Amino acid sequence: GNSVTQMEGPVTLSEEAFLTINCTYTATGYPSLFWYVQYPGEGLQLLLKATKADDKGSNKGFEATYRKETTSFHLEKGSVQVSDSAVYFCALRGPNDYKLSFGAGTTVTVRA
């Protein structure tokens, strides 16, 4: 079945530091890949997505590239801000499916 393995946290960074959260997946065929973010006290929001190999999703300075060869979708941001403090979830949806499989989530705290 489909599964997502996400780097465990928590991760604590200083402002302007580089952030990477690793995500690898197991799936048959060509899934769609997503990063969701959950800010403190808020609901889950889609951060970015990629639907085919070599696609790069980007939003709010975050990027992730769909790597078929390494079955990965790592999230990166070059210079984080305090406002980026949140829980980040990697997720996958199979090619002929409508359900999402989520990773465990990574809590990121950015200190001023």
Partner 1 sequence: SAVISQKPSRDICQRGTSLTIQCQVDSQVTMMFWYRQQPGQSLTLIATANQGSEATYESGFVIDKFPISRPNLTFSTLTVSNMSPEDSSIYLCSAVIGQSNTGELFFGEGSRLTVL
Site of interaction with partner 1 (CB under 8 A): 32, 34, 36, 42-46, 49, 51, 89, 93, 95-100, 102-105
Using the minimum distance from each CB to partner 1, give the nearer residue, 17 or 87: 87
Rounded to whole angstroms, the Cα distance separating 26 from 87 reads 22
Using the minimum distance from each CB to partner 1, give the nearer residue, 17 or 58: 58
Contacts of 69 (CB under 8 A, 6+ apart): none
Which single residue is written with the structure tokens 């996400």? 6
Residue 18: how many CA atoms within 13 Å on its side-chain side?
4
In whole angstroms, the minimum distance from the beta carbon of 55 to partner 1 comes to 13
In whole angstroms, the minimum distance from the beta carbon of 105 to partner 1 comes to 5
